[in-house]
Amino acid sequence: MYHAFGRKRGLLALIAFAAISAASAAASGAAATKVRDLVLYQDETFYSAFPSVVRRPDGELIVAFRRAPSRRVLGEKSEGHVDPNSYLVMVRSPDNGETWTREPELIYAHAFGGSQDPCLLQLRDGTLLCASYGWQFIHPDAVAKLKQPYLQNKPGVIFLGGYLVRSTDGGASWRGPIYPPHIPVDVNHDPYGRPVPAYNRGALFEAKDGRILWVVAANDSLAPRKTSTHLLTSTDKGTSWHYAAPVAVDPKITFNETSVYETPRGDIVAFLRTAGLDDQACIARSPDGGKTFQPWQSMGFQGHPLHALRLPDNRVLLTYGYRHAPFGIRARILNSECTDFATATEIVLRDDGGTSDIGYPWAVVLDERRVLVVYYFNLKNGTRHIAGTMIDVGASKAAANHK
């Protein structure tokens, strides 16, 4: 059963707003025009966050997100990003985001703990992959008995590592979990004393040669405690994974939550979230298909984390959360090879977030001009919910023909 958000807004008003916005954008040379904001899913009894989105071959949209009970509703002081009842769920839209299913469908509930950040990838044959990772809750008295070192979020909450699930029927059913290999430099063990499987939050990418690219994080140091990023590849639609190369490594700076993208020329580009670098968004590039990566560099702006989407004219929409006042969602449109990140105009999609607990955008093409950007949001520190912004990205033949 579907329901609409915001349909009480008059159709004529929406048409007039879009026309005025488009005219303004043309006059100013703006790279994109905001059409309107949406609410995809909201329930005050749940903390909903960290979405991803794909568009099925028949046009249906699927948005996956992490949902857990709202602890503030239960009387606790604040919400948390880890929870024993954190599950991977999804909602659907048959009409380009106008309406969404009211009750989420379950993707996966991990047998040993709460799951985080479902990252969807739709392959060319329609197969869906969903990458995630988890935390196990253990009585604090038992933690001292665990094999060290391990990653602990708060007392008794121990990192499980990453996993994936797969669907070949449009998300009606899911198989897994599939556990990726351990990254050799990762120092941590899971609660059972095993080396943690690779993990990350960020977009995977199906390359032209059929490989699936996935940039994962590894806890490579205890002092300082930090992570580096590494490329894994799969040649069997995500069933097995193989180590390819380090992506971004530094003795002091943390790199994590990375989205990977392949340009038309074949460069593999990683968009990296950082810590210890004033929240600078960074980029690393491989010109040889992922065998090696050139030294990482700051893109010159703050944003975390990032998502890259190829537009119909081969430009790239780069979206990211902005967790500094005014809190919100921002974007830039890059050329086809993602080389103009330092000069691309920043586009403010939202600046009305209630706190820094927002963001994690993920975008999908709806048609030749329109894109839907989904993310999690709060207003005035209220219910964390799954929101979206519809934008008109126009067209740029010059960008498409960039050499």
What's the DSSP call for residue 197?
Answer: P
Averaged confidence pLDDT in the chain:
91
Q: What is the pLDDT of residues 104-135, one digit of tens each?
A: 999 999 999 999 999 999 999 999 999 999 99
> In the predicted model, is pLDDT for residue 40 greater than 80?
yes
Residue 178 has pLDDT above 80, yes or no: yes
pLDDT of residue 394: 84
pLDDT band at 312 (very low <50, low <70, confident <90, very high): very high
Provide the whole-model pTM: 0.90
Long-range contacts (CB closer than 8 Å, 24 or more residues apart) made by 397-402: 397/313, 399/313, 399/314, 399/315, 399/333, 399/335, 399/336, 400/313, 400/314, 400/315, 400/336, 402/314, 402/335, 402/336, 402/337
pLDDT of residue 25: 35
By mean pLDDT, which of 16-30, 41-55, 191-205, 246-260 is the weakest?
16-30
Q: Would you state the structure tokens that stand for residue 217, as one six-digit string?
A: 């994080």
pLDDT tens across 92-104, in order? 999 999 999 999 9
Mean of the pLDDT values across residues 140-167? Answer: 96
Q: β-pairing, 157-167 with 128-137?
A: antiparallel
pLDDT value, residue 395? 60
Indicate if the pLDDT at residue 12 is higher than 90.
no
Confidence at residue 10, expressed as pLDDT on a 0 to 100 scale: 36
Given a cut of 50, whether residue 28 has pLDDT beyond it is no
Supply the pLDDT for residue 3.
Answer: 39
